[in-house]
């Protein structure tokens, strides 16, 4: 009897897709420690642990929020609306035999875990902008509020059947939901918090940056290819588009920096790869393969230019979150409006190149609106948080380094043999 009930409940289960999605979930989870290493290597020696803990704490706290009400707000109720409801709070009504309604091929438990990994890394991206300057208590409040009022609504509106999805907006793996919102939130953070006391900060470990960026690239295959939610021809397209765009962006950034500064810079090469990965993210499963080199080159050039503008304007976005993720997300979503093709993915749309100006308009308006909202709300939220607890650390704490002044720890015991 039990076996009969089990077989009926799992009749549509695709074990191959389920196995792949478990792997993709694990890859996306790896991206958060990878981000911690990437940012940790770029930070100064006195602030390595302070920036890394901001990524790692999201692994724990975001999971708590996601299980309690985050998943429900993103993926239950509110069809055509801005936010969901609490029908699935504490994962109510979901069992191990429940299949995800999106395709009826994988357990909803797997989908819950996969989307949770996106929720974990998105606010952690922002932290690179205000490295060395923000208290851990203020960041913890920020992490909570930003997810509830920025991340969850955009997940629901685009991936949860909400307002923007009903309008026809597409975002394959997070150009709007992840990169544009995080990148422009980072810029707002920079404007509110202000510049570092020591503006000549240099990376403490470029090899650590390389390890982090390599693991991010590796994890991005799960991030993009896994966003198909199953194993099919779109999965393979998203995988290859991801690698090609990242590679072309890497070389484009390397080339322009080499020409301008007369030396090939390793950090620049690594940064270019992340720019390419961020930019292809919204497009990966919706555009033809021939578009990915164009998107990659555009990513390398535009994101490099954004970083130069940031430097010229003296915006102290320490680790170039706005230039790489914010502008990468905005550019990639806009280019999705140019290169998307129903011939490639019937679930997609035709972009400007294929005769649809309306889809291009929807993509541009949506990503611009999301960026402006994330910027404005983040700035307002930081003002409110500062009324509760001081957002910026004191000058003495900053000069001493946040590792010691906030956490009482050092990344390296320089006196050890």
**Looking at residue 48, what is its pLDDT?**
95
> Does residue 66 fall inside a structural domain?
yes
> Does residue 165 fall inside a structural domain?
yes
**Looking at residue 198, what is its pLDDT?**
78
Q: pLDDT of 228-283, one tens digit each?
A: 999 999 999 999 999 999 999 999 999 999 999 999 999 999 999 999 999 999 99
Number of domains in the chain: 1
Q: 218 forms bridges with which residues in the sheet?
A: none
> Does residue 393 fall inside a structural domain?
no
> Does residue 401 fall inside a structural domain?
no
Q: What is the 3-state secondary structure (H, E, C) of 180-200?
A: HHHHHHHHHHHHHHCCCCCCC
**Looking at residue 8, what is its pLDDT?**
41
> Does residue 408 fall inside a structural domain?
no
**Looking at residue 7, what is its pLDDT?**
42
**Inter-CA distances, 289 with 35, 241, 277, 303, 340, Å:** 28, 6, 15, 21, 11
Distance CA 63, CA 151 (A): 14
> Does residue 396 fall inside a structural domain?
no
Mean pLDDT of the 129-150 span = 96
> Does residue 175 fall inside a structural domain?
yes
> Does residue 356 fall inside a structural domain?
yes
- Phi, psi (5° rounding) for residue 125? -60, -35
What is the number of other CB atoms lying within 10 angstroms of the CB of residue 115?
22
Half-sphere exposure of 163 (CA within 13 A, CB side): 9
Task: Give the CATH number for residue 160.
Answer: 1.10.3430.10
Alpha-helical (H) ranges within 314-356 are 321, 327-339
**Looking at residue 11, what is its pLDDT?**
65
**Looking at residue 3, what is its pLDDT?**
43
Range of the domain at 349: 13-388
Those residues whose C-beta lies under 8 Å from the C-beta of residue 408, and which sit 6 or more positions away, are none
Mind giving me the DSSP string for 261-305? HSS--HHHHHHHHHHHHHHHTTTTTTS-TTHHHHHHHHHHHHHHH
Q: Considering the entire predicted model, what is its pTM? A: 0.95
């Amino acid at each position: 009897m039990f076996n009969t009930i089990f077989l009926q409940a799992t009749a549509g289960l695709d074990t191959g897709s389920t196995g792949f999605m478990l792997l993709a979930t694990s890859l996306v989870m790896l991206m958060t420690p990878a981000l911690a290493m990437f940012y940790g290597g770029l930070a100064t020696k006195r602030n390595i642990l302070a920036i890394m803990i901001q990524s790692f704490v999201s692994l724990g706290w975001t999971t708590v929020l996601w299980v309690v009400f985050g998943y429900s707000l993103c993926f239950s109720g509110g069809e055509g609306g801005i936010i969901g409801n609490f029908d699935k709070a504490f994962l109510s009504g979901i069992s191990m035999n429940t299949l995800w309604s999106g395709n009826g091929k994988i357990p909803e438990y797997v989908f819950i875990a996969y989307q949770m990994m996106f929720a974990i890394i998105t606010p952690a991206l922002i932290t690179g902008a205000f490295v060395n300057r923000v208290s851990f208590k203020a960041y913890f409040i920020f992490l909570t509020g930003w997810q509830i009022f920025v991340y969850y609504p955009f997940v629901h509106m685009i991936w949860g059947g909400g307002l923007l999805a009903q309008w026809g907006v597409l975002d394959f793996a997070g150009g709007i939901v992840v990169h544009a919102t995080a990148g422009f939130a980072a810029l707002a953070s920079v404007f509110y918090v202000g510049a570092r006391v020591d503006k000549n900060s240099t990376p403490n470990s470029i090899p650590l940056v390389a390890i982090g960026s390599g693991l991010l690239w590796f994890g991005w295959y799960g991030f993009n290819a896994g966003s198909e939610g199953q194993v099919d021809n779109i999965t393979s397209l998203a995988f290859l588009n991801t690698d090609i765009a990242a590679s072309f962006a890497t070389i484009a950034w390397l080339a322009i920096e080499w020409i301008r500064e007369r030396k090939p810079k390793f950090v620049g090469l690594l940064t270019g790869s992340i720019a390419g990965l961020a930019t292809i993210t919204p497009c990966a499963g919706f555009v033809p393969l021939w578009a990915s080199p164009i998107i990659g080159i555009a990513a390398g050039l535009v994101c490099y230019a954004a970083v130069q503008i940031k430097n010229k304007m003296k915006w102290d976005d320490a680790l170039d979150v706005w230039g790489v993720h914010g502008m990468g997300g905005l550019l990639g979503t806009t280019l999705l409006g140019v290169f998307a093709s129903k011939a490639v993915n019937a679930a997609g749309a035709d972009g400007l190149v294929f005769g649809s100006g309306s889809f291009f308009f929807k993509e541009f308006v949506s990503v611009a609106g999301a960026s402006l909202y994330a910027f404005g709300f983040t700035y307002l939220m930081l003002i409110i948080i500062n009324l509760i607890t001081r957002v910026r650390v004191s000058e003495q704490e900053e000069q001493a380094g946040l590792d010691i002044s906030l956490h009482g720890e050092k990344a390296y015991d320089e006196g050890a043999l």
